[in-house]
Every structure is written in C-alpha cells, then in structure tokens.
Amino acid sequence: MGQEQLRLKQDVVTRWNSTFYMVKRFIDVKDPVISTLALINAPLSTLSTEEWEIAQETADILKPFEEVTVEVSAERFVTASKVILMARGLQRIVARHQRSPSVHEPIKKLVDSLMSEMQKRFSKVEHIEKLADATCLDPRFKKQAFVNSKAAEDTVKRITAAAAHNHPSHSEEEESQNPSVAASTGAMFWEDFDERVASTRASTSSDSATSSTSTAAMMEMRAYLAEPLLSPSSDPLAWWRMCSPVFKTLCEVMKTRLCIVATSVPSERVFSKTGQIITDRRNRLSPSKVRQLVFLNANLCF
C-alpha cells in the first residue's frame, strides 16, 4: 500500500536510452515478474541467475551514459562547456570496468566495444575549438577540465588572441597634435614629406596599439584563470553577468562561445507533445490552432 505501481517498459529502436530504461525497470520488478510467472504457470522460461546478473551489470554500465544524455539534452542552460568533461568522465568510468572485468563474456564485449567507440569519437575532443573555448570560459571548469595540457594552453592562447582583437585601442593620435607642414606653410612641395611622416607614424601607432591590447588581454586572461572555480551547480552566465565590468573583453568572447549543444531532442519533444494534443477524441483541431497550442506549450513557463 502507498507504493508506486511500476509497469514494464518497452524500448524504442531510435532511442538508445529507452533500452536502458527497459532493462532497469525489468530489474526493479524482478520479484513481481518471477512471482507472477509462477502464479499463472505461463509457458515461458524465466531468466537464469547469471542472466539476471548480466542485466544488472548492463544497467550499471549504461547508467552514466544515460546521465550524460540527459545532461547534454538540456535547453535552458549551457551544455557545450560540459562536453569535454563528460566525454573524459565516461572514458574513465569504462576504463575502470575494464580494469575489473566481469566474469560474464557479454559484459566484457560490451565494455570493450564502448571503450573502442569512445576512443574513436572522443580522442581529439579537446582539440575541437568551439568546445574547448566554451570549457575554458566556463568559470566552473576553466583549464582543469582538460586532460591534455597542450590543448588547454592552445585554448588559452586562442581566447587571449580573440580578446585582444576585441580590445579597444587607446593609442590613436589625433591629427591636431601633429599638424601638416604643408598646411602650416602653404607650400605644396612639403606634401611628399607629410605623406612619409604620416605613414611612419601610422605604422608605429599600429605596433604600439597591438602590443598594448595584447598585454591587456593577457593580463585579463591571467586574472580570470586566477579566480576560484565555481561549484558545478552554479550558473556560469550569472557569474559572467556579475563580473562583466571586470573582464570586459573576455565577456565579449564568452558571448560567442558559451552555448547549447545542438541536438534533435527539442524537435522530438515538440513532436511528442503534438501527439498528446491531437488525439482520437480531439482530432478536429485546425493546423493553425495546433501550431498555437504547441508554441504556447513549448514557451510558456508554468
């Protein structure tokens, strides 16, 4: 009495995590399933003890993958900065399973296959510039999320260069401070000299401005990296909003880096919600009305 009624779940071919949910639910209702099959004397062979153990180990191995899938499918907070962290975390978990191999052959094959595919897909994930920049500019992770130190240093240099490019120049000289000789004397033969002086002055000013902005960007980057890390549950955008007056140029770079990973999940959610709106008992809605209902459902905060 008072306990939630659990029903068996069926997996969906197009969604891998549905297989995890199916196996997990089957394990959760193990005793009721065995009791029911015995009670009705069904002509079905029950799982052996070894098969139940394989199902449990499979669920344990797949659980971190399901957690990552849910995390990266979010729509209302930054996810790009977590990709490197999650990829390396999954590799470490699977490597741990490899070091303590299961006695069951199917589990060994599963773990080896997962590790092989992750090596193929994630071996250079820290060198993907957009993901690396987002990770470094997330005050929860910064350089600590990188396993490859060279990738971390390259990312810092790249962000610093972008910040220097956005940094306003303070070394521009006004023409009034360097009057033209030709203008002051009225003699036209001074024009060639004026042009050469102006060209030299522009080159020197440009070099000085470049050096100044690069130094300012490097100092700003060092100050940012010296800040203590935020807790993983903190909102990085709220931190940047608060600290934007201090890290002005880095904040401009951050606006083009911290983002949400593009996935098919939002569109699938819309399709699923549309299927709940249009039912056998509610099938006379016009297309425009359905669009309005779906829009309101996806955008209203309840």
| Per-domain residue ranges of the chain | 16-123, 131-254, 265-299
pTM, rounded to two decimals: 0.73
Q: Is the pLDDT of residue 264 over 60?
A: yes
* 208: number of Cβ within 10 Å: 15
Residue 65 CA to residue 128 CA, distance in Å, equals 21
For the chain, the distance separating the N- and C-terminal CA atoms, rounded to the nearest angstrom, is 32
Q: 263 versus 96: which is more confidently predicted?
A: 96
Query: What average pLDDT does this structure show over 126-134?
Result: 94
Residue 249 CA to residue 140 CA, distance in Å, equals 19
Phi-psi region of 106 (alpha: psi -120 to 50; beta: other; left: phi over 0): alpha
Provide the 8-state DSSP code for 259.
-
Question: In the chain, pLDDT over 90 holds for what percent of residues?
Answer: 46
Pick from 80-84, 188-192, 209-213, 274-278 the range whose average pLDDT is largest: 80-84
- Distance from chain centroid for Cα 198: 49
Which residue in 79, 164, 89 sits closest to 130, CA to CA? 79
Query: What average pLDDT does this structure show over 108-137?
Result: 93
Asked whether the beta carbons of 37 and 46 are under 8 A apart, the reply is yes
Q: According to the model, what pLDDT value does residue 112 have?
A: 93
Asked whether the beta carbons of 138 and 258 are under 8 A apart, the reply is yes
Q: Is the pLDDT of residue 180 over 80?
A: no
Lowest mean pLDDT among 32-41, 110-119, 175-184, 219-228: 175-184
The string of pLDDT tens digits covering residues 45-67 is 778 889 999 999 999 999 999 99
The string of pLDDT tens digits covering residues 3-50 is 678 888 888 887 888 899 999 999 999 888 888 888 887 777 778 889
The string of pLDDT tens digits covering residues 210-241 is 567 788 889 999 999 999 999 988 999 999 99
Residue 212 CA to residue 164 CA, distance in Å, equals 9
Which residue in 114, 122, 116, 123 sits closest to 20, CA to CA? 114
Residue 170: pLDDT band with limits 50, 70, 90? very low
Q: According to the model, what pLDDT value does residue 174 have?
A: 43
Q: Which residues contact 161 (CB under 8 A, 6 or more apart)?
A: 217
Residue 186: pLDDT band with limits 50, 70, 90? low
Q: Which residues contact 26 (CB under 8 A, 6 or more apart)?
A: 8, 9, 33, 55
Q: 41 versus 244: which is more confidently predicted?
A: 244
Asked whether the beta carbons of 160 and 218 are under 8 A apart, the reply is yes
- Distance from chain centroid for Cα 291: 30
